[in-house]
Each structure stands twice: as C-alpha cells, then as structure tokens.
Amino acid sequence: MKKFLFSGSFDPITNGHMDIIERAALLCDKLVVGIITNPSKHCMFSTDEKIEMIRKVTAHIENVEVDNFGGLLADYVRDKQFDGVVRGLRTSHDFDYEMQMANINARLYDKFESIFLMARPELTYVSSSNIKEIILFKGNVEGLVPDVVLEEIKKKTQK
C-alpha cells in the first residue's frame, strides 16, 4: 500500500492545492493532507478551521485523509512511514526551493522521497499568499479557492 503526504500551511487551501490533491490521490492508495502547524506564524485560519475546510473540499476523494503536525517534516514522514511527499511546482523558483528542501529532508531521513507535480498552466499564479493579499485589499478571490473556502473567507472578513 502506497501512502503519500501532501504538506503545507493551506492558509487557505486554494484551487491549485485541490488540483494537486486530486491528481496525487490517483497515484497512491492513501494521500494525507498534512497541515504544518507553526505557532510563530500568523494565519488567517486556525488549524481546526483548516482541517474542517479541507475535509469538506476533499470529501469526494475516498483515499484522502487530513492531519496536522509540527516540527520537522522529515521526522513526521519517518514516524508516519510515508512512501513519498508530494510537492506542487508552479515556477522555476518553486523548483529551486523544493529541490533544496528535498535534499535537506533526504539528509535528515534517508528514505525521504519527493514527488513533484507540475501545476496546471491556468493555476500557476494561484497561491495562498496571493489569496491573502487579495483579501487584504478587499479583492474578489472567487474561482481561486473552493466555494466552501470562499464562504469561510467571507464570514471571517465580515467580522
């Protein structure tokens, strides 16, 4: 049984993330969407809110589970015995960064295997950072995030 991890902060989860999740789920028996918890990072959504949203938007994919973790990615991968870690690539900048991360993680855990999936061309500009900036300036993120997430963003920004 092949078990892969797709990790990130998912603050918020985007249609780009969803594309990677849907495609990665076809490559393994189980895909865990792992939310990295970093207490020093200010997030728009709490870990519990992210878990709930990701569960809702991935409910149609039978082999997807959601978890959260803190600490080193390599430790989590070793402890949970993942066969691979899926990473989405949008640009050559992403590739350079992800290659460095893959190498350091392989140094920390010698069985660490990275699997890179290219973003679909129409999603290469979609990132959680861009979404948060658009929201900050009261822009419209419809079509960039799943509808469930859009509703949660509206609730959070109307307070």
Tokens of 129: 């950072």
26: nearest Cα among 82, 86, 77, 74: 86
For residue 62, the domain's CATH number is 3.40.50.620
Tokens of 110: 């010698």
Mean pLDDT of the chain, nearest integer: 96
Q: How many residues does the chain have?
A: 159
State the helix-helix crossing angle for 147-157 and 47-57, rounded to 10 degrees: 150
Tokens of 24: 């990665």
Percent of the chain scoring above 70 in pLDDT: 99
Across the chain, the runs of DSSP E, i.e. the strands, are 3-8, 30-36, 64-69, 84-89, 114-118
pLDDT in tens, 44-70: 999 999 999 999 999 999 999 999 999
Tell me how many domains the chain contains: 1
Which residues carry out catalysis? 17, 41, 90, 128
**Apex 61 CA angle, 59 and 64, nearest 5:** 90
**Apex 16 CA angle, 18 and 139, nearest 5:** 115
pLDDT in tens, 117-133: 999 999 999 999 999 99
**pTM of this prediction?**
0.95
Mean pLDDT of 76-92: 97
* pLDDT for 32 beyond 70: yes
* pLDDT for 40 beyond 80: no
Q: How far, rounded to the nearest angstrom, does the alpha carbon of residue 62 sit from its chain's CA centroid?
A: 18
pLDDT in tens, 94-117: 999 999 999 999 999 999 999 999
**Residue 23 lies in domain:** 3-157
Tokens of 56: 């809702």
